[in-house]
Amino acid sequence: MKTRTRSTLISLCAIAIALLVAGCACLSGKCCTRAKPTVQRYGMITGLKPEKADEYKDLHANPWPDVLKQIRECNIRNYSIYLIELEDEPYLFSYFEYVGEDFDADMARMAADPVTQQWWSRTDPCQIPLPDLEEGQIWKGMEEVFHCD
Protein backbone atom coordinates (compact mmCIF):
# COMPACT_ATOMS: atom_id res chain seq x y z
CA MET A 1 0.00 0.00 0.00
CA LYS A 2 2.82 2.41 0.87
CA THR A 3 4.52 1.70 -2.47
CA ARG A 4 1.32 2.30 -4.41
CA THR A 5 0.63 5.57 -2.58
CA ARG A 6 4.20 6.73 -3.10
CA SER A 7 4.12 5.80 -6.79
CA THR A 8 0.74 7.56 -7.21
CA LEU A 9 2.16 10.67 -5.53
CA ILE A 10 5.22 10.57 -7.79
CA SER A 11 2.96 10.22 -10.85
CA LEU A 12 0.80 13.16 -9.76
CA CYS A 13 3.91 15.27 -9.17
CA ALA A 14 5.20 14.36 -12.64
CA ILE A 15 1.84 15.30 -14.20
CA ALA A 16 1.78 18.62 -12.29
CA ILE A 17 5.30 19.45 -13.44
CA ALA A 18 4.42 18.56 -17.04
CA LEU A 19 1.32 20.78 -16.89
CA LEU A 20 3.30 23.67 -15.43
CA VAL A 21 5.95 23.32 -18.10
CA ALA A 22 3.19 23.31 -20.73
CA GLY A 23 1.77 26.52 -19.24
CA CYS A 24 -1.22 24.82 -17.68
CA ALA A 25 -1.40 24.68 -13.88
CA CYS A 26 -4.82 23.15 -13.29
CA LEU A 27 -5.26 19.53 -12.26
CA SER A 28 -9.04 19.38 -12.59
CA GLY A 29 -8.94 17.44 -15.82
CA LYS A 30 -9.90 20.56 -17.75
CA CYS A 31 -6.73 22.15 -19.01
CA CYS A 32 -6.42 25.90 -18.79
CA THR A 33 -6.43 27.71 -22.09
CA ARG A 34 -3.85 30.24 -20.94
CA ALA A 35 -1.87 30.47 -24.13
CA LYS A 36 1.48 32.15 -24.34
CA PRO A 37 0.99 35.47 -26.16
CA THR A 38 1.88 35.34 -29.82
CA VAL A 39 4.61 37.78 -30.75
CA GLN A 40 4.15 39.71 -33.97
CA ARG A 41 7.30 41.40 -35.25
CA TYR A 42 7.12 44.74 -37.09
CA GLY A 43 9.76 46.52 -39.15
CA MET A 44 9.03 50.01 -40.44
CA ILE A 45 10.90 52.75 -42.27
CA THR A 46 10.58 56.48 -42.79
CA GLY A 47 12.76 59.32 -43.98
CA LEU A 48 14.41 61.85 -41.67
CA LYS A 49 14.96 65.51 -42.51
CA PRO A 50 18.74 66.00 -42.35
CA GLU A 51 18.40 69.34 -40.56
CA LYS A 52 16.22 67.64 -37.89
CA ALA A 53 18.43 64.60 -37.23
CA ASP A 54 20.06 66.00 -34.09
CA GLU A 55 16.71 67.13 -32.68
CA TYR A 56 15.21 63.69 -33.34
CA LYS A 57 18.13 61.93 -31.66
CA ASP A 58 17.96 64.31 -28.67
CA LEU A 59 14.24 63.62 -28.21
CA HIS A 60 14.84 59.87 -28.21
CA ALA A 61 17.84 60.14 -25.89
CA ASN A 62 15.38 61.39 -23.25
CA PRO A 63 11.95 59.92 -24.04
CA TRP A 64 9.04 61.08 -21.93
CA PRO A 65 8.13 58.53 -19.23
CA ASP A 66 4.41 58.72 -20.07
CA VAL A 67 5.15 57.91 -23.71
CA LEU A 68 7.18 54.87 -22.67
CA LYS A 69 4.34 53.82 -20.37
CA GLN A 70 1.81 54.15 -23.20
CA ILE A 71 3.99 52.08 -25.53
CA ARG A 72 4.11 49.30 -22.95
CA GLU A 73 0.37 49.53 -22.16
CA CYS A 74 -0.35 49.14 -25.87
CA ASN A 75 1.52 45.81 -25.88
CA ILE A 76 4.67 46.97 -27.66
CA ARG A 77 7.89 45.31 -26.52
CA ASN A 78 11.51 45.27 -27.64
CA TYR A 79 11.15 48.59 -29.50
CA SER A 80 14.18 50.09 -31.24
CA ILE A 81 14.74 52.84 -33.81
CA TYR A 82 17.87 52.88 -35.97
CA LEU A 83 19.31 55.67 -38.13
CA ILE A 84 21.10 54.99 -41.42
CA GLU A 85 22.20 57.07 -44.39
CA LEU A 86 21.50 55.65 -47.85
CA GLU A 87 22.71 57.60 -50.88
CA ASP A 88 23.37 60.60 -48.58
CA GLU A 89 19.77 60.61 -47.27
CA PRO A 90 18.94 59.74 -43.64
CA TYR A 91 16.35 57.05 -42.93
CA LEU A 92 14.88 55.66 -39.72
CA PHE A 93 14.22 51.96 -39.30
CA SER A 94 12.07 50.80 -36.39
CA TYR A 95 11.61 47.33 -35.01
CA PHE A 96 9.17 46.24 -32.32
CA GLU A 97 7.29 43.23 -31.11
CA TYR A 98 3.56 43.29 -30.48
CA VAL A 99 2.26 40.91 -27.80
CA GLY A 100 -1.41 41.96 -27.61
CA GLU A 101 -4.52 40.53 -29.24
CA ASP A 102 -5.85 43.51 -31.22
CA PHE A 103 -3.11 45.57 -32.88
CA ASP A 104 -5.47 48.08 -34.52
CA ALA A 105 -7.31 48.77 -31.25
CA ASP A 106 -4.06 49.19 -29.32
CA MET A 107 -2.66 51.56 -31.96
CA ALA A 108 -5.91 53.58 -31.90
CA ARG A 109 -5.63 53.79 -28.11
CA MET A 110 -2.06 55.00 -28.43
CA ALA A 111 -3.03 57.58 -31.05
CA ALA A 112 -5.81 58.89 -28.78
CA ASP A 113 -3.43 59.44 -25.84
CA PRO A 114 -2.86 63.21 -25.33
CA VAL A 115 0.76 62.84 -24.18
CA THR A 116 1.61 60.61 -27.15
CA GLN A 117 -0.02 63.19 -29.42
CA GLN A 118 2.23 65.88 -27.90
CA TRP A 119 5.27 63.64 -28.43
CA TRP A 120 4.33 63.03 -32.04
CA SER A 121 3.87 66.79 -32.55
CA ARG A 122 7.61 67.01 -31.78
CA THR A 123 8.80 63.95 -33.71
CA ASP A 124 6.57 63.99 -36.82
CA PRO A 125 7.99 67.27 -38.23
CA CYS A 126 11.43 65.62 -38.20
CA GLN A 127 10.32 62.81 -40.49
CA ILE A 128 9.71 62.50 -44.22
CA PRO A 129 7.03 59.91 -45.06
CA LEU A 130 7.86 57.56 -47.89
CA PRO A 131 5.70 57.56 -51.03
CA ASP A 132 2.52 55.49 -51.29
CA LEU A 133 1.36 56.06 -47.71
CA GLU A 134 -2.14 57.04 -46.74
CA GLU A 135 -2.71 60.58 -45.51
CA GLY A 136 -1.42 61.00 -41.96
CA GLN A 137 0.88 57.96 -42.02
CA ILE A 138 4.57 58.51 -41.34
CA TRP A 139 6.05 55.03 -41.13
CA LYS A 140 5.88 52.44 -43.93
CA GLY A 141 5.57 48.79 -42.91
CA MET A 142 8.04 46.26 -44.22
CA GLU A 143 7.62 42.60 -45.12
CA GLU A 144 9.54 40.15 -42.96
CA VAL A 145 11.40 37.78 -45.24
CA PHE A 146 13.53 35.94 -42.66
CA HIS A 147 13.57 35.32 -38.91
CA CYS A 148 15.74 33.14 -36.73
CA ASP A 149 15.37 32.84 -32.95
> 128: how many CB neighbours lie within 10 A of its CB?
15
Q: What's the rounded mean pLDDT across residues 24-44?
A: 65
Contacts of 65 (CB under 8 A, 6+ apart): none
Report the share of the chain in percent with pLDDT over 70. 75
Lowest mean pLDDT segment, chosen from 91-95, 104-108, 117-121, 136-140: 136-140
Under 8 Å between Cβ of 123 and 56: yes
Q: Which domains does the chain have, with CATH numbers?
A: 1-36 (no CATH), 40-141 (3.30.70.1090)
Asked if residue 5 has pLDDT above 80, the reply is: no
Local confidence band at 3 (pLDDT 50, 70, 90 cut-offs)? very low
Local confidence band at 149 (pLDDT 50, 70, 90 cut-offs)? confident
pTM assigned to the model: 0.73
